[in-house]
Structures are given as C-alpha cells and as structure tokens.
Structure 1
Amino acid sequence: MPALPLTRRSIFAQAWPIMLGQTTVPLVGLVDTAVIGRTGDAAALAGVALGTTIINFIFWSFGFLRMGMTGMTAQAAGAGDRAETDALLVRGLAVGLSFGAVLIALQLALIPIAFHLLAGGADVDASARPYVAARFLGAPASLAVFAINGWLLGLGRTRAALALQIVMNLVNAGLDILFVWHFHWGARGVGLGTACAEWTALLVGLALVAPHLHALKDRASLFDRAKIRRLFAVNADIMIRTVALLLMFGWFTNAGARMGATTLAAQQVLMQAVGIVAFVLDGFAFTAESRVGHAIGGGSRRDLTRAIRLTGEFCLATAAIACVLIALFGRVGIDLLVTDPGVRAQAAALLPFVMLLPLIGTPAWLLDGVFIGATAGRALRNAAILSTVAYIATDLALRPWGAVGIWIALTASYVYRAVALGAFLPGLLAKVAREPA
C-alpha cells in the first residue's frame, strides 16, 4: 500500500473530511429535537433525550470497534501487509454484527436496568422506552458501521468515511420527518428512523469496501488465534477506557443536576460549545490515529514523532481559534439558545471555563489519538481510570464551591488525562525502531 506523505498539506487534506463529517453529528440531534419538538409533545421530547443518553452509553461502550480498528488497520497498512488489512475489516464486521445481535437478544434485560438507573418519570419513560427499543433494532448495523469507519480512517480514506456519515444523516433526517410528522409515531418514530438509517449506512459501507471482502475466502488468516487474541485484548482495554470516560461525563451531568434545574440547563448549553470544539478537533486526533499507526507499522520513529508534531500543531492552532470565537460570540450563543434569565446568567458566569477548555483539553484529545493509533490499549485504559478517579475526587473536594467547582473539576480532568497519557509516551517512543542512519 502506498505510504501517506507526512506534510502539513496532506495532514489537512486527510483531516478536513473528518471535521466536516463530525460537525454533522450534532445536527442529527438537532433534527431529532426539532422534528419531535414541533409536535408540541414535551414528554416525547424528554423521552428522546433520555433514550439517547441510554443508547449512547450502551452503543458507545463498543466504540472500541472504531478506535481499535483504526489503529490496527493503520499499522497493518504501514507494514505493507494488505492481506492482514483486509482480514481486519472482515473480523471487525463479524465482531460488530455479533455484538449487535447479542444486544438485541439482551434488550429485555438491559432496557429495564437502564430505566431503573435513569428514571425520568412515568410520562417521560413511556416515550423513552419505545424509542430505546426501536434503536436496539439498529444495534448490529450501528456496531458494524463503527468497524467500517475505523477501517476507512485507518487507511486515511476520510472522504469515503465522510460520504458514509452524510448518507446516514440524510436518511435519518428524512425518515424522522416521515415517521413523526406523517405517521405520527412520536418518539418511537425517531428511534425507527435512526435504526433504518444505520442499516442503510451499513449497506452503503459494504458497497464501499466490497473489493476488500475477499478475505472471507482465506479462513486460515481470518481465524488466526494470535491475531484474534490481539484484537480482543486491545479492544477490551479500549472498552474499559471508554466506559470510564462515559462514567466521568455521567458524573459531571449528575453534579449539575444536584445543583438544580438552572445549573443543569446552563451546563447543557455550555456543553454544546465544548462538544462542537471536540468534534472539530477530532479531525486532527483521528488523523493522528492513522498517521501514528502507519509510522509504527513501518517501524519509523522519525515518522512517528513528525506525525505527532504536525497533528499537534493543527490541534493547537484550531483550539486557539476556538478560544477566540467563544470569547467573541459565547454570550451571543447563550442568548440565542435560551431565554430564561437565570440560565443565561449562570451560563455567562461559567463561560470563561468553556473559553479555556479547548487549549487545556487539546493535549488529552491529541494523545488519545496517538495511543489509539499505537493500539496501546493498556495505557489508554489506565490513564482513563486514573483520570476518572482523580476527577471524582476533585469534584467531591470542590462541592462547597458550587457550579464553579463542577467546572474546575471537569477542566482538571483533561489535565489529569494528558499527564497520565504523557507519562506513557516515552515508553511508546522507545518501542519504535530508530530510523536507520
């Protein structure tokens, strides 16, 4: 496979489709909210919000299918092993479809547990349950698409990944409108629309990667025990890492709820900006995954350090721009999103934390990409656990500080994660062969 050039131009060319695709992710939630919100059914809207929280936690616990696939595919490609690159795709699809089928089979147990832990009241639960049940129908497709996306990103085929994202989002929006506004299926219609969009994306994704599915014929390579064992070892560590971070953000949401509706609402408004910045920076973090994986697969320490430096430059520049934009337009955005004076005042008071978060969070986001590309699952796992524990301890210690303490703890969590991952970086570099003289 041809090597990816390590230049600023090529880095940006690889990153911009990811950035564009990632910015469409919040738009899907916006469409879901608008479609159900226009019906005037507040319980249905709240049900979709609660149901989305549940589904995101369950489905993204399997996010390793995207992250682990990117790193392993990039390394195989960097080593010039085309057979293993194609075999990884088939293994990822098999694992995604299998785990998705297991989720469908276990939904009768998982859904009651989820609603016991996140009860939203009788009316809200009544709308959320059919939404969640409908979303479970798309579980195999959703997890298989994780694998396809990870494989495409590992090869640097970001435009194909963008096309897949756009198809899924357009189908989702169209079916939401059809099922909710025409058939009046409410929250269940939103869930069915998303599930159908996920199956559509899987079909399109299979069409995109069809030439590489010939690995199905080579059963000996597909079922190589050592390679399958490595696949599950790396992915198990990344799964633990993902769950730890999901728990951390769940704690953050609960901390806001503990302070009352005004604080929670202000927190939700501000997290929209944080989410958008994170999605944009993911363009360079995902690119780092691919470039680091290629460098490690090729055994080049020079390419590894250059990949980290170039993607780091873009991350820091983008974060600085984001800080300036939030400083200039943050108050305007708050006023556009909410009308309640109390929520506006609370959000404005906490806005400085959001202004600083892009720069403070950049090292953690970038290092995540570096270690995912290196398939250093143990480092990712340990760093996530340590930073989550440290975050919770900080939040508990700062409870007397109220909402300010909540945001100090969140900001500190990014520092904890960057420091923890940074401690593993010298060991990662030492494992890669030095460039020959």
Structure 2
Amino acid sequence: MLGQATVPLVGMVDTVVIGRTGDAAALAGVALGTTIVNFLFWTFGFLRMGMTGLTAQAQGADDGTEVRAMLARGLLLGLALGALLFALQWVLVPVSLGLFAGARELDAAASGYITARFLGAPASLAVFAINGWLLGLGRTRSALLLQIVMNVVNGVLDIWFVWGFGMGAEGVGLGTAIAEWVALGTGLTIAAGILGPTALEGLRTRLFDLAALKRLFAINADIMVRTVALLLLFAWFANAGARLGTEVLAANQVLMQFVSIAAFVLDGFAFTAESRVGNAIGRGRHEELKRAIRLTGEFSLGAGLVFALTTGLAGSWLIGLITTDPQVRELARAFLPYTALVPLIGVPAWLLDGIFIGATRGKALRNAAVVTTALYVATDLLLRPCGAHGMWIAFLIGYLYRAGTLGAALPGLIRGIAEKPAAP
C-alpha cells in the first residue's frame, strides 16, 4: 500500500505545481495531455500486469530460470515498444489531440506536455516490466523504493522547470520523463541485487523459449485489449469534461488526483492478490487461493470505506491546496461527493482485476472490459442531459459494470484450478 501510494504522486505533483500557478488553461492542458499519454503508454500495461502473474506462477513452481527470463523478456519488449512510440509521436500526438474537444490554447499546452513525456517512453515501459516482476516476486519494499526515487526526482524537477524556469506544462512533462529514466536505472540496480551472480544463468536457452513466448503474447494480447478498452472509458470521461469547458476539465483533473490515490493505494490489496493467487495456482492449492481472495477482499472493503470518508471530510480543504483558480475550486467542490464514492464503489472492480491478473485469465479480463466500456458509453450518452452531474454518475456506474462482469466469471475461475498433490 505504501508503494502504491507513491505511484499517483507523480500525477499529483504535476497537478499541484501547475495548479498553484493559477493558470487554468495550463492545468487543463496537463489534464488532457495526461489522458493521452496514459492512453498511449498504458496500452502496453500488460508489461506490468502480465509480468506479475507469470512471474508469481514461475516462483510458485520453483522455476528460477523462468523468473529470470521473464524479467529479460519484459525489459527487451518494454524498451522496443517505447522506442516505437517515440518514433511515431509525430503522428500520434496531432491525431490524439484532434480526437478531443479542446480549444487552441488548451491543445498548445497539452502538446508541449505530451512531446516532453515521449522522451521518457522507453524508460516508462521498461519500468512497467520491472514493477510487474518485483510485485510477482512479492518484493513490495523494492517496488516502494523504485517509486520513491522516481517521485523525488519528478517533484524536484517539476518545481525547478515550472516555478524556476517558467516552462509551464512542457516543464512538467520534461521533469516526469527524466524521472522515468532515473527510475529505470534504479530498477535495474534493484533487480541485479536480487538476482546476484545468477542473473544471466540459463537465459541463453530460456529467453526465447517458444512455448513461454507463445503464452506470454497470448496473455498479453488479451490484457492489451482489456487495457485499451478501459483507457477508452477514461478518455471518454476526459473528453466529456473538455466538451463542457476548460474549467470543468481542470476541475476534473483536480478531482482525479483523489481517485488516482485511492485506486493506487487500494490496488496494493489487488497486487497482493495477484502475487498470492499466482503462487496458489502455481502450487495448485485451492484453499490458499480462496484464502487470498477472502482476506484481500475484507481488507479492501474496509480501506475503501476509510478513503471514502476521508475524501468527503478533507476533500474541500485539499482542493484549495491543489489549485488557486476560484472557478476551478468551486466546480471541484461541487463534484466532490461523487469523487468520495469512488473508493467504495471501485473496490470490487480493482480487487477482481488483481485476482484475474494473478490467475493470468486474460480472456475474462478482456471480455469484461469491452462489455464495461460499451455499457459505460451508452450510460453516459443517456445521462448527457444532466450535464456534469450526469458525466460523474455515469463514471461511478462504470465501476459497477466492471465489478459485475468480472464477478460473474469468478466461480468459473475457482473451479478451473487444478489441485496438485502436496509434496511429500
């Protein structure tokens, strides 16, 4: 949970540094830019999610060589895909901006932020793989250290570039890109320390093992579709805010910091479920699987209630710290009750994600996400006459769709695990 709490601090720092300048257009530009970057980068989020489940299962089966090979495959794939994104940015950036309902001033700020972020694309995707590998091994302290290093570097550079040099949204993006490269160096150092002198042992024969690669790409293809579907959901939500005006989009960016912190911290339980579920499946233990689901579920619901209460009670004060623009503050406070409900309503969806990722059930994740996004878009269209309130209500209902579609597949997952005899 501590490690996960540091993940959204990158976006929080970006938002606060820009928000304290009082420039609503720059804040909205960072909001729009973040949505586009998240969509493009997290399209390859399987590098984190697929890596966790497969690594945990390899560890559960006591296959050290496959554990090492998984890291090498993830790093190579992440660097290659990140380099491809960087090379295609000249096409991707204008096309992405053209799909959103932003004004010219908003597009200019967003473009500067996105272009700077693309400098860190290879490092960002490689760090996805390292994080997934560490979580699969249950090395949560190492994952925490990695995130702390990235956040400290990002915070210092954001303040320096924006408040020191007046670089605006572009400075925020550049600070984050540099922090991602520092995080990659840190992650490689951590991985080398964990593996020790055996880091390269067996890689020559296992790195390009056909069966392992086939399984990796099959699972990752399903998770990629799942991720793109959910990213479309969040992009639709961001575009709904942009359609209602720069101030609404800026207010949504402020409120999404609360959502991100709750989601990432509560994902700590989901990541625990990923590792424990993966290990239980690797060992073929039904009771361990059920226990992991029950315990993480109980703690998740309790923590979700705490987050909901905290957001509702302290949210107005925190909004005042994040932005100085009066109109943005007023709008954010008006929509705060919806934001306070997200941690409670979203808990089942986040936890079920972790369970299915740990079980490497990519098809179930894919199908649930596609159905969820389609239902969410239909709901948002139906609620458009309600304006911004309808936008937030549809967003909350989207979490119920995610939980319902995955929950329906959970009994089949549990039944499908083959029980292995205990070792003598």
Deviations 1:380-420 (A, max 9, x none): 00000001111111222223333343333222211211111
Secondary structure at the counterpart of residue 284 of structure 2: coil
Q: Residues 338 and 393 of structure 1: is their aligned pair in 2 closer, same or farther, counting only changes over 3 Å? A: same
Cα shift at 1:281: 0.5
Shift of 1:63: 1.0
Q: Taking structure 1 as reference, are residues 139 and 345 closer, same or farther at Cα in structure 2, changes over 3 Å only?
A: closer
After superposition, the Cα gap between the structure-2 partners of 1:118 and 1:397, relative to the gap in structure 1 and judged at 3 Å, is closer
Report which stretch shifted further, 93-102 or 328-337.
328-337
Q: TM-score, normalised by structure 2?
A: 0.89
Match of 1:207, SS? helix
Give the direction of change, closer, same or farther, for the CA distance of 1:27–1:314 in structure 2 (3 Å limit).
Answer: same
Pairwise CA distance, 1:370: 0.2
| Map of 2:230 onto structure 1 | 245
Structure 2 residue 97 is matched with structure 1 residue 112: no
Q: Which residue of 2 aligns with 1:378?
A: 363
What is the CA–CA distance in structure 2 between the aligned matches of 1:177 and 1:433, rounded to whole Å?
53
Query: 3-state SS of the aligned residue for 1:402?
Result: helix
When residues 84 and 412 of structure 1 are mapped into structure 2, their CA distance, relative to the original with a 3 A threshold, is same
Q: Confirm or deny: 8 A CA contact 1:301 1:435 kept in the other structure.
A: no
Residues in 1 aligned to 2:359 and 2:245: alpha-carbon distance in whole angstroms: 42
Deviation sequence 1:347-373 (CA, Å, 0-9, x none): 555444334332222111110000011
**Worse overlay, 346-355 or 275-284:** 346-355
Pair 1:305 & 2:290 matched: yes
Aligned pair partner of 1:220 in 184, 205, 227 = 205
Q: Check whether the contact 2:119–2:177 (CA below 8 A) recurs between aligned residues.
A: yes
The residue number in structure 1 matching 2:177 is: 195
Describe how 1:140-219 pairs up with structure 2 within 5 A.
140-182=122-164, 185-210=167-192, 212=195, 214-215=199-200, 218-219=203-204
Q: Which amino acid aligns with 2:63?
A: D
1:78 is matched with 60
Q: Is the 8 A contact 2:65 2:201 kept in 1?
A: no
Gaps of 5+ in 2: none
2:242 aligned with 1:292? no
Cα separation, 2, equivalents of 1:52 and 1:270? 14
Which residue matches 2:401?
A: 416
Give me the whole-angstrom Cα distance separating, in 1, the residues matched to 2:302 and 2:398: 22
Contact 2:31 2:249 in 1 (8 A): no
Assess if the C-alpha contact under 8 Å between 2:28 and 2:249 holds in 1.
Answer: no
Residue 428 (structure 1) aligned with residue 413 (structure 2): yes
1:389–1:299 Cα change, 3 Å: same
AA of the residue aligned to 2:114: V
Q: 1:344 deviation in Å?
A: 6.1
Moved more, 133-142 or 146-155: 133-142
Residues 420 and 40 (structure 1), Cα distance of their counterparts in 2 relative to 1, 3 Å cut: closer
- Correspondence for 1:403: 388
- Specify every segment of 5 or more residues in structure 1 that has no aligned partner in the other structure, as ranges: 1-18
What secondary structure, in the 3-state scheme, does the structure 1 residue paired with 2:127 have?
helix
Contact kept? 2:102, 2:243, Cα under 8 Å: no
- The size of the alignment, in residue pairs, is 419
Deviation at 1:332, TM superposition (A): 4.2
Aligned-pair CA distance for 1:217: 5.4
Q: Write the letter of the residue equivalent to 2:264.
A: F
- For residues 113-159 of structure 1, what are the alpha-carbon distances to aligned partners after superposition, in whole Å with 9 as ceiling and x for unaligned? 12222364444444443432222121111111100000000010000
Q: How high is the TM-score relative to the length of structure 1?
A: 0.87
Q: Which residue of 2 aligns with 1:278?
A: 263
Percent of pairs identical after alignment? 65
Q: 2:240 aligns with which of 243, 247, 255?
A: 255
2:37 aligns with 55
Cα pair 2:153 2:179 within 8 Å, conserved? yes
Select between 226-235 and 342-351 the one with higher mean Cα deviation. 342-351
Compute the displacement of 1:42 (Å): 6.2
- Shift of residue 161, structure 1, vs aligned partner: 0.5
| 1:88 is aligned to 2:88 | no
Q: Is contact 1:51-1:128 (8 Å) kept?
A: yes
> What is the identity, as a one-letter code, of the residue corresponding to 2:51?
M
Question: For residues 18 and 133 of structure 2, what CA distance do their matches in structure 1 show?
Answer: 34
Amino acid corresponding to residue 283 of structure 1 in structure 2: G
Shift of 1:337: 5.3
The one-character-per-residue Cα deviations of 1:20-74 (angstroms, maximum 9, x if unpaired) are 2332334323433454566676655554443322212111111110111001001
Q: How much does 1:83 deviate?
A: 0.9
Query: Could you report, residue by residue, the CA deviation over 1:61-93 in whole angstroms, capped at 9, with x for unpaired residues?
Result: 111101110010011111111111111011111
Question: CA 1:192/1:253 → structure 2, altered by over 3 Å: closer, same or farther?
Answer: closer
Instruction: Tell me the amino acid that sits aligned with residue 145 of structure 1.
Output: V
Query: Cα RMSD (Å) of the superposition?
Result: 2.7
Distance 1:405 1:47 in 2: 23
Out of 314, 319, 333, the residue aligned to residue 329 of structure 1 is 314
Task: State the Cα distance separating 1:198 from its structure 2 match.
Answer: 1.2
Which piece of structure 1 moves more, 387-396 or 367-376?
387-396
Q: Secondary structure at the match of 1:137?
A: helix
Q: Which digits, 9 at most, give the CA deviation of each residue in 1:87-115, with x for residues without a partner?
A: 10111111101111111221222122122
CA contact (8 A) 2:304 2:343 kept: yes
The question of whether the paired residues in 2 share the 8 Å contact of 1:179 and 1:193 is answered with: yes
Deviation at 1:168? 1.1
Q: Is the 8 A contact 2:247 2:327 kept in 1?
A: yes
Matching residue's letter, 2:290: T
Task: Pick from 34, 42, 47 the counterpart of residue 65 of structure 1.
Answer: 47
Q: d(CA) in 2 for partners of 1:189 and 1:328?
A: 33
Q: Is the 8 A contact 1:234 1:377 kept in 2?
A: yes
More moved, 29-38 vs 378-387: 29-38
Cα distance 1:376–1:331, how it changes in 2: closer, same or farther (>3 A)? same
Note if contact 2:39-2:235 (Cα within 8 Å) is conserved in structure 1.
no
- Which amino acid is the alignment partner of residue 412 of structure 2? G
Deviation at residue 185 of structure 1 after TM alignment: 4.6
Amino acid at match of 1:295: A
